[in-house]
A and B are shown apart, each in its own frame.
Chain A
Amino acid sequence: MNVIVVQEKAGAFAENKDTAATLRNTVVLPTLRAREDLTIDFSGVTGATQSFVHALISEAFREFGPEVLDHIVFKGCNADVSEIVQMVADYMQESL
């Protein structure tokens, strides 16, 4: 099971895009390229910026298309984080 625990890497407020880029390049894209499913666990994260989530997952949409959402589960998101994730998913799919 491939899991990113965001709070462990980015803290309670996920804003550091360098951290997001590292997670993208070391976990998100390699996992999906290996045709394995991924869980991104936002438990304990009180907020995230759109920039952070964009840096984390936008490239996955470009590389795998909207079907990537069949292979990523977003876990433990509060209302704010859910909105941000949905926002990035929406505009990336609109953009493809």
Chain B
Amino acid sequence: MSNPENLDITTHDTWMSVHPVVLAMIAAKGLTVPKGNVSVDSITASSRGYFERMKLFEMLGVDAGIHITELDPSGRFVPLSQIRTADEQSRFITDVIPLLHLQPEQSKAINYVLSELIRNVLEHSGAPNGAIVAAQYHKKSNIIRIGIADTGVGIKRTINNSHPAWTDMEALKLALTPGITGTTFREGGTVDNVGAGLFFIKSIAANNRNFFMLYSGDAMYKLLKQPLTKNIKLYANPDRDRHSEKVGLPYWQGTVVGIDISLDTNDAFNILLEAMRMTLSQAVRERKKARYKKVRFEP
């Protein structure tokens, strides 16, 4: 990411394990560089076909010299997709669940996550290339890994329209706080936004003790896995979640979200929604109360 005009794709010689969020970042970045400035080193790892099957090179318009017999992706992965309009989003959401062969209860969280994340990009990022999305099902762990990246204005600039954030990390945390939106400082949001989307996504991951990361500018917020012995609690304040923070990372112009969703969870989705509802309402109440002015009395 040091040279915004070029993208060189290199891999380890013998092994490769790439989360779809990394693929989404590579593709999103590749779409911003001038045509002909994407180069791919010789990829010798045995899993090199993965890039081809996920349509990375097709999206970037390069021939990496990898030729595979493409099998039906059904039940295994959603290749890299570029989504620029609400109608494209609706079509993608309609197509993705059958592609992953999900049961109705399993599909709820996936539908929800994809819908909110893609919509965030379309509404707030200002990214001319829209949202770049990919997903993969891992049979052994029974987990769906999802990545979405954009090369828009980034969270800090968006959130600063209504809340002061001096650093990218501050902006990430504000964006993860339910009821905080870049569109207004008012509680209850605007006619179109209330600022709960990323809190919901984080909560879905936390509830399943799964991976979640948010990266924008030079900062990354990542949930750490909760031990199985510990009860899950949803927090409005992202500082209270078990997480890691990194700043000073290579600057990502835009926003990146990665999330894993376990299909093993036995909790009904509406139970999680109820917990999110209560957390969100409490957060709004507490913020309102914190702004109350004290009455001044004089003798």
Cβ of A8 under 8 Å from chain B? no
State which of A13, A21, A58, A82 has its C-beta within 8 Å of the C-beta of B93.
A13
Closest-CB distance, B292 to chain A (whole angstroms): 14
Closest-CB distance, A39 to chain B (whole angstroms): 21
Q: Are A91 and B104 in contact (CB under 8 A)?
A: no
Complex CA distance for A11 and B65, rounded to whole angstroms: 42
Chain B, interface size category, equals 35 or more
Chain A, interface size category, equals 20 to 34
Q: Are A86 and B277 in contact (CB under 8 A)?
A: yes
Question: Could you tell me the dominant secondary structure of chain A's interface residues?
Answer: helix
A1-21 toward B: CB 8 Å interface, digit per residue (1/0)?
Answer: 000000000010101111001
Q: Are B108 and A58 in contact (CB under 8 A)?
A: no
Q: A91-B194, A94-B281, A95-B284 are in contact. Are A11 and B270 (CB under 8 A)?
A: no
Complex CA distance for A9 and B115, rounded to whole angstroms: 17
Please report which residues of chain A, range 46-78, place their CB below 8 angstroms from some CB of chain B when the two chains form the complex.
Answer: 46-47, 49-51, 54-55, 58-59, 61-62
Cβ of B167 under 8 Å from chain A? no
Cβ of B189 under 8 Å from chain A? yes
Q: Are A15 and B93 in contact (CB under 8 A)?
A: yes
B264-286 toward A: CB 8 Å interface, digit per residue (1/0)?
Answer: 00001110011011001100110
Complex CA distance for A88 and B276, rounded to whole angstroms: 11
State which of B89, B94, B186, B191 has its C-beta within 8 Å of the C-beta of A55.
B191
Q: Are A50 and B281 in contact (CB under 8 A)?
A: no
Q: A18-B86, A87-B273, A94-B187 are in contact. Are A47 and B194 (CB under 8 A)?
A: no
Q: Interface of A with B (CB < 8 Å)? A: 11, 13, 15-18, 21, 24, 46-47, 49-51, 54-55, 58-59, 61-62, 79-80, 82-84, 86-87, 90-92, 94-96
| CB pairs A–B below 8 angstroms (23 shown) | A11-B90, A13-B94, A13-B115, A21-B191, A21-B192, A24-B191, A47-B108, A47-B111, A47-B112, A47-B269, A50-B194, A51-B119, A51-B196, A51-B197, A54-B189, A54-B192, A62-B188, A83-B277, A87-B281, A91-B188, A94-B285, A95-B288, A96-B188
